[in-house]
Amino acid sequence: MPLQKFRNIGIAAHIDAGKTTVTERILFFTGTTRKLGEVHDGQATMDFMKQEQERGITIASAAITSSWNDHTINIIDTPGHVDFTVEVERSLRVIDGMVAVFCAVSGVEPQSETVWNQADRYRVPRIAFVNKMDRVGADFAEVVKQMDKYLDANPVPFQVPIGSEDNFQGSIDIIRGKAVYIKDMELSVEEIPDSLKAAANDARGFLIEKLADFNEEIMELYLDGKDVPVELLKQSAREATIKMNITPVFCGSAYKNKGVRLLLDAVVDYLPSPVDVGAVVGIDINDPDKSHTRHPSAKDPFAALAFKLIHDPYVGQQTFIRVYSGELRSGMQVLNSTKSKTERIGRILRIHAKEREEVESAGPGDIVALIGMKFTKTGDTLCDSDHPLFLESIFIPPAVIEMKITPPSKKEEEKLGVALRKLAMEDPSFSVRFNDETNETIIAGMGELHLEIIIDRLKTEFGAIAEVGAPSVAFRETITREVESNYKHSKQTGGRGQYAHTVIRLEPNDGKGFEFEDHIKGGAIPQEYIPSVRKGIEASMDEGILAGFPVVDVKAVLLDGTFHDVDSSDMAFRTCAAICFKEGFLKAGPILLEPMMKIEVNTPDDYIGDVVGDLNKRRGKIESMRRYRKGSQKVIGFVPLMEMFGYATQLRNISSGRANYSMEFFKYVPVNKEIQEKVLKQLQEKKKDKAS
């Protein structure tokens, strides 16, 4: 099939806007499935994990291949819950176009904005689908207004709904100038009823006016008062959508099977093919200032990006990749340029949610799963060994919440370790570390629900039983002033001794992470030991110094040192640098950093005072309040994560269950002195309790 007939799309939105139902209907109408899967009864094709079926939400993005009007459509269904935002992030990195789903009643919700901003980061063209038009309170025009106001989406309605709520019957196709009625799955195309002609004419005028800004031919016809041909409108609309100048808006009710086939037509008509997206640019692996382009062609050298890992109980680890150029065949050897390792391609699978189809090869635009990859993880580039390059990786937000996890017996320890390693490989926003001092395994993730799902999966998928502590905040440590640290490490035992000497300057490096500079002159420390110095510092940073939390935003400059011809070694310099760093860190005004969260609360007007008062008590800062919809307001602010445990219950109590909220990580900020002392004291007491 020619590349122009491929569409790689994602379906994304706020939780409960109906993304998965939209996808299920797409699969049904494209003939990929023979029955309608429903989220509410746990039968959705895309939500095939047990945890998804129990909760009725999407947790892991699922890839599926279908076809419509002679086009191949690869669909990635993504979660709406903010705890799984990394799933959206990695899906957006590899798709060419997106369908943003909005609820006709709730409109633009907090996670809708997050997803929209993520799509902006990756420059993904999108169309919008206003779902749930059959629900009480559905308001298509209001959702379009909110998209313009809050998302700066430049939305352009391509349809006018025929009726709403119980009376929703279909939509008017603005471009074709026809009314499309849907009853019992049957489509009937008719003339526009007189009662809607004025609304249809206004919408068509608005559409032509918008497109005239980007197309001179339409501009001339518009100024001359002539009619614009349908094909010219479609072609111009496609170009404007792909360039992200407009967002076409469609409407329907996926649950009632209304509007989904017209949405599929829109995916084919307006979203880009790999050819429209064009070449990807990669970085030269030896020179970061040099770049290489890879065109979506089988003739270009092979280049692909791994964006997801799944551990399948039947076939083992599946590595999902998006192929950008060249051809991939079973048995081929390719280079993982991120890890500098060679991988041999085993089986290549095209995935239909739970089902899999083995294929011999994959080409540009394909999204496939590979079996048997040894080194490849999320964000890694796979490429032709003779033409290596790095493709842009995937942004992974930091974990902000931690939990202690303990196996009940020695026998369970190994099983738990294996399971945690597999889950950490699968999900880059989940991490595991072992605290030697307290002898505890600590897991970290994006939120309480994220860790709850992880614990559930440990039990159901891996049969690993564990005792779990209460969730706690993942603090970070850093310094506030510059210091110089001088340490000599000298140990004599019976045989060869250990000798190393380092002088390191530590500087605050706000927001820039860890940087290491080597200022050694005249071979005071031989070149081969410099990497060991860096490794020693990094090991100290991982373990934490003040309270066992990872150290961030520090610049370490190696100034001077000495060595011994016989007694110096990699290990001696690693140990010396670690101790030198620790000593310097404690003199450099060490402080704790806490995760600050961005919170959005949607509340009826009656409870606004209580909601704001409660957030102020939690050390929150209100940034803005705006009208959400009639009788409701949206409160936007910033609040420390450590004050937010149990907030869902409290919000339910103060609003009689009528308010809801969304929270996402914003940035790490210094903890005030009083709270830092309190946190450090609590940690010391816990250590004492453990020891006794």
| Band (591; pLDDT cuts 50, 70, 90) | very high
Higher pLDDT, 521 or 90: 521
CA 529 to chain centre: 38
Q: Specify burial of residue 365 (Cβ count, 10 A radius: 0-12, 13-18, 19+).
A: buried
Q: CA 11, CA 126: separation in Å to the nearest integer?
A: 10
Q: What is the mean pLDDT of residues 166-174?
A: 94
pTM of the model: 0.71
Out of 341-355, 609-623, 640-654, pick the least confident: 341-355
The reported pLDDT for the residue numbered 46 is: 40
The reported pLDDT for the residue numbered 462 is: 82
pLDDT of 53 higher than 50: no
CA 26 to chain centre: 23
| Band (50; pLDDT cuts 50, 70, 90) | very low
Determine if residue 259 is left, alpha or beta; phi over 0 gives left, psi from -120 to 50 gives alpha, anything else beta: left
What percent of the chain has a predicted confidence (pLDDT) above 70?
90
What percent of the chain has a predicted confidence (pLDDT) above 90?
49
Closest by CA position to 479, among listed 509, 520, 441: 509
The reported pLDDT for the residue numbered 62 is: 52
The reported pLDDT for the residue numbered 55 is: 33
Q: How far is CA 362 from CA 314, 324, 358, 389, in A?
A: 22, 10, 11, 19
Higher pLDDT, 418 or 50: 418
The reported pLDDT for the residue numbered 49 is: 40
Out of 32-46, 56-70, 395-409, pick the least confident: 32-46
Q: Which residues of 511-535 are buried (b: 16+ CB within 10 A; e: fewer)?
A: eeebebeeebeeebbeeebbebbbe
Give the E-state strand segments of 515-563 in sequence order: 515-518, 554-562
Element (H, E) at 523: none
Query: Rounded mean pLDDT of the chain?
Result: 86
Note whether 655 and 615 are within 8 A (CB).
no
pLDDT tens for each residue of 254-297: 999 999 999 999 999 999 999 999 899 999 888 888 899 999 99
Name the one residue in this structure whose structure tokens are 């919170």: 599
Out of 3-12, 21-30, 513-522, 639-648, pick the least confident: 21-30
Q: What is the mean pLDDT of residues 188-203?
A: 94
Q: What is the mean pLDDT of residues 566-572?
A: 92
Higher pLDDT, 310 or 161: 161
For residues 135, 22, 255, 350, the Cα torsion angle rounded to the nearest 10 degrees is -170
Higher pLDDT, 584 or 223: 584
What are the backbone angles phi and psi of residue 22, rounded to the nearest 5°? Answer: -60, -45
The reported pLDDT for the residue numbered 78 is: 63
Enumerate residues 6+ apart whose C-beta is below 8 A from 419.
458, 461, 462, 464
pLDDT tens for each residue of 658-684: 887 878 888 899 998 998 998 888 878
Structure tokens at 111: 């996670």
Name the one residue in this structure whose structure tokens are 């083995």: 358
| Band (613; pLDDT cuts 50, 70, 90) | very high
CA 677 to chain centre: 35
pLDDT tens for each residue of 454-466: 888 888 878 888 8
Q: How far is CA 550 from CA 282, 442, 533, 593, 597, in A?
A: 31, 12, 18, 10, 19
pLDDT tens for each residue of 310-367: 777 677 788 889 999 999 999 999 999 999 999 999 899 887 656 778 899 999 999 8
Out of 123-127, 132-136, 555-559, 598-602, pick the least confident: 598-602
CA 150 to chain centre: 21
Beta bridge partners of 637: 599, 622
The reported pLDDT for the residue numbered 438 is: 60
pLDDT tens for each residue of 485-539: 999 999 876 667 899 999 999 999 988 889 999 998 888 999 999 999 999 999 9
Structure tokens at 218: 């339409």
The reported pLDDT for the residue numbered 60 is: 38
| Band (45; pLDDT cuts 50, 70, 90) | very low
pLDDT tens for each residue of 71-89: 989 887 665 444 456 667 7
Q: What is the mean pLDDT of residues 177-206?
A: 92
pLDDT of 39 higher than 90: no
